[in-house]
Chains A and B, each alone.
Chain A
Amino acid sequence: MEALYLLIPLSTLLVFLAIWVFFRASDGGQFDDLEGPAMRILHDDDIPAQPDLQDHI
């Protein structure tokens, strides 16, 4: 039971740490696009790029 006297303040600190991490991630743009990565991950490219593409442009 005595361990709780340490654990409860520690958990409170952890939450504030989590808030700090969240704000940093949010500032870094982690949450700017929540849809795009989910769309991209399914579309990997197995077909090699066509070298003659430059002719079309």
Chain B
Amino acid sequence: MHDDGSDAANLCFHCGQPVPAGESWTLDIGGLNRTLCCVGCQSVARLIVESGCEDFYLRRTVPSARIDPEQLLPPELALVDLPGQTAEGEVSDAGDHAQELVLSIDGLRCAACVWLIEKYLARLPGIDMAELNVASARLHIRRDPARCSTSTILRGLHGLGYTAYPFDPLRQGEQARRAGRRLFRQLFIAGLSMMQVMMYAIPVYMTHEGIDPEMMALMRWASLFLTIPAVFYSALPFFTGAWAGLRARAPGMDLPVAIGIAAAFTGSAIATWRGEGEIWFDSVSMFIFLLLASRYLETAARRKSAAALERMQQAFPASALVLRGYPLQRETTLVAASQLQAGDVILARPGDTIAADASLLEGVAELDLALLSGESRPQAFQPGQEAPGGAVNLSQPVLLRVVRTTRESTLAAITRLAEQAGQGKPALAQWADIVASRFVVALLLLAAVTFMAWHLIDPTRAWATAIAVLVVSCPCALSLATPSALAAATDRLLREGTLVVRGNVLETLQRADTILFDKTGTLTQGRPQMTALWSCIPQAQALSVAAAMECGSLHPLAKALVEEADRRGSATCDVAELGSVTGAGMHCVIDGVPHRLGARHFVAEIAGPSMPAELNQPAAAAAGSVYLGNSQGWLARLDLADALRADAVDTVAAFRAQGLRVILLSGDQPEVCAEVAAAVGIDEVIAGCTPQRKLEVVRQLQQGGAVVAIVGDGINDAAMLRAGDVSFAMGNGAALAQVSADAVIMSDRLSAVAQCAQMARRTMRIVRQNLVWASVYNFLAIPAAAFGLLDPWMSAVGMSASSLLVVGNALRLSRATRAARQMPASAPAALPALAGGA
């Protein structure tokens, strides 16, 4: 599924994705007319150019994220200005006017993003300082709140195509970050100690005539002091890990490591004190350093994906609908969820997440608690019962009375999500863990036996050999083989816009033999577009009239018409007395003539019953029609249909080429489904499915022995996504679908699923290589150590090198070499006007 970059003219200048055929958004950037793929990208690019930041396109090294037009300005943004909401973003008052604000930013891609954000914000009035921390994706702003509101900043960032959230340390996994920082310090200290101890060890190894005993003693004492920070600070993770393993009665790889370090250090310290015998301070500090290095690399990759997951989850439950006048009035107001007080009455619509712990007032609710309890079946709640915050309403709108504030009540859900990201382990990794744990027990026994045996043969070497056995064996390589490869692959996929939530995705996807696609929103874009226009008057005129009548409406069909008119650059036209009739259409007066736009019967009331032949064309099965007419007759018919995603055909073809059984599963009409299936090349269609039926289909397939992969997006797909062996949710889909799926396609490109499958195959190949290496190494090295052929320092090198090799092999996965990194016409040579100006 590589993008074919050869035809750069058909790629969007902003996001680098293919421009749909027939689309023609253009913008003058750097003196040349650029093609853009959608209104979202166009408005972002326009803002960048208008704010004098068009250099961004010269500086960036990867294409920007695609912007969904609908997500340009979420209404919830305004909420952050309300008192109470901003408090959680503000960390401190600095000075009399200036105030600090911390935001977390999503969508950073390359160095130019940093430049663009900082530069744009620095030019906003009222902002003293804006500084972006790239590693933690946090933006620190000092500003005058009277002149620059939080929502202005958020709206500006949204306009540039980045998503920003008020920073909440609780949600941002502050703890994980602090742990990462501690690991970095431990690594640094171990490195410092290792280098210095080596300085004293090398003369001893090198010399032939022997060293003055007093000098020797001095160097030994110096080595002892220098090893102390490494053992008592840097090696702490191994000791705590070993202790935790012992208490859980499941000794992990930390145990032999910890015993090895402790034994070698204690033995050396005693030898130093007595002034005789061997010391291994150099081996100890090197061992600690190399082992920490491989651990550091692995956690760094893992933490990135966990952080992205948290940022995604931040988006929900951000707001709630409150009924202030209950029970007298039923008007709802949208408020920030963090403002909810105990006693407030809130409305939860179907598909809404309940913002806080609340008791049910009216109606019988069916709630999905999967996120909170893991229970997959919806549960029925009666009036008076308390529903936990974070539950998702599945049935009808219900009223609830808040019992506890959001901050207290959603904690459980957030913690659970954060844990979920790191925890899921594929079967292969679990198997490796079990093997490693048995291996550890056997190894400890072997070390003891070796010690006793050598005690009888040559007591002076017993201690050294036992340590060598403990240190050389590498259950680490065995245990790291799978997780490090998965972490690297996950990190790479994340950078490409696919968030892997559960650990089994890559392993299962590689085994999958059946793939189910939902139709609406998955194979198609999920929102209508104009496909055909028949008219009795010039087409441009018909479209401009229709667009003018619909321009205030939020109905998806209306938006599609306005978008189409914008795209074609139709002239506007003046309308008067605009009004709407629910379920029928819009009416207005143009130049004194009453016009109507909408359903056929509604227009027929003024245009007359008989429709001209031009408009009486056969429509495609998936299309719906809107009619335009005035009191003098019929004017036009506009057909709207849900268009296919640009990459749907390629994606389906890629899976078919791999021999997977591809099925289209939808709740829509059979004719519509058949048409879409034919267009993308799917033979098997199961149409008219309720969510229950979808679930049954999945179960039947699984009972037949199939490993089922599922791609879906809606609330009605949630149950099926959860039941599938591996499932993907589209990033623009329902929140419930996203939390039910094993992976979320944040880039909203269907081809990401095929990319993910390709990645899965590569990952499993690397995992197998790693496991083979770890087995061969242990098989050879342990006997060698037990027979006294290896010194402790050789063991330490061998063991650490083996771990690093495994991690290094895995990190190959995260290296990006793909063609998708290329951008449409962004080389400086292509922008002469800009290059000259800069």
Contacts and interface: CB of A to CB of B under 8 A. Distances in A.
Interface stretch (B32-40, B112-120, B762-770): B112-120
B135 interface: yes
B433 interface: no
A31 B177 CA distance: 12
A8 B200 CA distance: 9
Interface string A7-45: 011011001101100110010000111111011101101
A15 B115 contact: no
Contact of B838 (A23, A33, A39, A46): A46
Contact of B222 (A9, A23, A31, A49): A9
Given A15-B226, A54-B125, A57-B124, A39 B111 contact: yes
B123 A53 contact: yes
Contact of A57 (B125, B184, B219): B125
A57 B50 CA distance: 10
Interface in B137-193: 156, 181, 184-185, 188-189, 192-193
B133 interface: yes
Given A33-B133, A43-B111, A49-B123, A12 B226 contact: yes
Contacts of A18: 192
A11 B196 contact: yes
B837 interface: yes
A26 B134 contact: no
B82 interface: no
Highest count of chain B CB atoms <10 Å: which of A15, A18, A38, A42: A15
A40 B50 CA distance: 22
B196 A19 contact: no
Given A34-B135, A47-B837, A49-B123, A22 B52 contact: no
Contacts of B631: none
B771 to A, nearest CB: 32
Contacts of B838: 46-47
Contacts of B553: none
Contacts of B298: none
A32 B192 CA distance: 20
B778 to A, nearest CB: 35
B136 interface: yes
A36 B123 contact: no
Contacts of B212: 1
Most buried by B among A16, A34, A39: A39
A5 B217 CA distance: 11
Contacts of A56: 50-51
B241 interface: no
B182 to A, nearest CB: 10
Contacts of B124: 57
B100 interface: no
Nearest to A15: B196
Interface of B: 50-52, 55, 59, 110-112, 114-115, 118-119, 123-125, 132-136, 156, 181, 184-185, 188-189, 192-193, 196, 199-200, 212, 215, 218-219, 222, 225-226, 229, 837-838
27 contacts: A4-B215, A5-B215, A8-B218, A9-B218, A12-B196, A12-B226, A15-B196, A16-B229, A19-B229, A22-B188, A26-B188, A31-B181, A31-B184, A33-B134, A33-B135, A35-B135, A36-B114, A36-B132, A39-B111, A40-B111, A42-B59, A47-B838, A53-B51, A53-B52, A53-B123, A54-B125, A57-B51
9 tightest Cβ-Cβ pairs between the two chains A and B? A39-B111, A36-B134, A43-B115, A35-B134, A50-B52, A33-B133, A33-B135, A56-B50, A12-B222
Interface of A: 1, 4-5, 8-9, 11-12, 15-16, 18-19, 22-23, 26, 31-36, 38-40, 42-43, 45-47, 49-50, 53-54, 56-57
